[in-house]
């Protein structure tokens, strides 16, 4: 069962690896393992000291390759009613899966930034405020309903400043929540 989950996670990771920040996970793509894979930090920041029985390898300084730290990032299609920060039923299901991933051993000890995004329709200031409210709604749900420690989450509204689909201003993937590993 664990091997099957790892293979499925590897397949999802391979499908999304090259364009991780350009892909929105939605529906059946939102699995515990896909989120764990997407949010895991690579590089020197990942070293936490916990090795689960494996001894770290000592690499001579001359043989070390410069590690590129890569923040984990998962964009989720978390939907809201139009011009609202109220979560929908589908969003709650995705957030429940996210909560399980955040509570996993693989992500224990990490903190995350919840970034709210909006499409470019409407006033920029209103979109920024709305995206902040949406990020806060996601963080509040994870804390109050799923027991994620509030110190592990920070909410940031991005407005319409980082669209995924620049050709369609009203594209659903522009109205998303992104979870970014910060530590």
What does residue 144 show for φ and ψ, rounded to 5 degrees? -75, -40
Contact between residue 80 and residue 86 where contact means Cβ atoms under 8 Å apart? yes
Secondary structure, 3-state, 15-78: HHCCCHHHCEECHHHCCHHHHHHHHCCECHHHCCCCCCCCCCCCCCHHHCCCCCCECCEEEECC
Answer whether 70's CB lies under 8 Å from 41's CB.
Answer: yes
Kindly state whether residue 139 falls inside one of the protein's structural domains: yes
14 located within any domain: no
Given this model, what pLDDT does residue 40 score?
A: 85
The closest alpha carbon to 42, from 12, 65, 8, belongs to: 65
Asked whether residue 57 is domain-assigned, the answer is: no
Per-residue pLDDT at 48: 42
pLDDT 10s digits, 124-173: 999 999 999 999 999 999 999 999 999 999 999 999 999 989 999 888 88
Structural domain containing residue 168? 25-44+68-181
CATH number of domain containing 140: 3.30.1330.60
Look at the alpha carbons of 32, 71, 116, 144 in this order and tell me if their dihedral is positive or negative: positive
- Specify if 49 maps to a domain: no
Higher pLDDT, 8 or 88: 88
Question: Which of 104 and 58 is assigned the larger pLDDT?
Answer: 104
The confidence band for 68, taking pLDDT boundaries of 50, 70 and 90, is very low
The pLDDT score that the predictor gives to residue 4 is: 45
For residue 32, give every residue at least 6 positions away whose Cβ sits within 8 Å of its Cβ, in sequence order, or none. 5, 97, 100, 101, 104
pLDDT tens readout for residues 2-56 = 434 433 443 333 333 333 345 677 778 888 888 888 888 654 344 343 333 333 3
The predicted-structure confidence for 137-148, as pLDDT tens digits, reads as follows 999 999 999 999
What's the domain count of the chain?
1
């Amino acid at each position: 069962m664990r091997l099957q989950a790892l293979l499925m996670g590897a397949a999802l990771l391979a499908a999304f690896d090259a364009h991780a920040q350009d892909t929105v996970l939605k529906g059946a793509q939102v699995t515990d393992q896909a989120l764990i894979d997407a949010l895991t930090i690579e590089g020197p920041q990942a070293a936490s000291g916990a090795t689960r029985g494996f001894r770290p390898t000592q690499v001579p300084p001359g043989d070390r390759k410069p590690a590129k730290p890569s923040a984990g990032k998962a964009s989720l299609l978390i939907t809201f009613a139009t011009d609202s920060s109220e979560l929908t039923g589908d969003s709650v299901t995705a957030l429940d899966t996210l909560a399980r991933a955040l509570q996993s051993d693989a992500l224990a000890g990490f903190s995350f930034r919840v970034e709210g995004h909006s499409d470019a329709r409407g006033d920029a200031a209103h979109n920024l405020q709305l995206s902040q409210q949406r990020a806060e709604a996601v963080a509040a749900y994870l804390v109050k309903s799923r027991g994620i420690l509030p110190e592990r989450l920070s909410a940031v509204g991005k407005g319409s400043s980082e669209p995924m689909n620049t050709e369609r201003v009203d594209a659903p993937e522009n109205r998303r929540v992104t979870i970014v590993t910060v530590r």
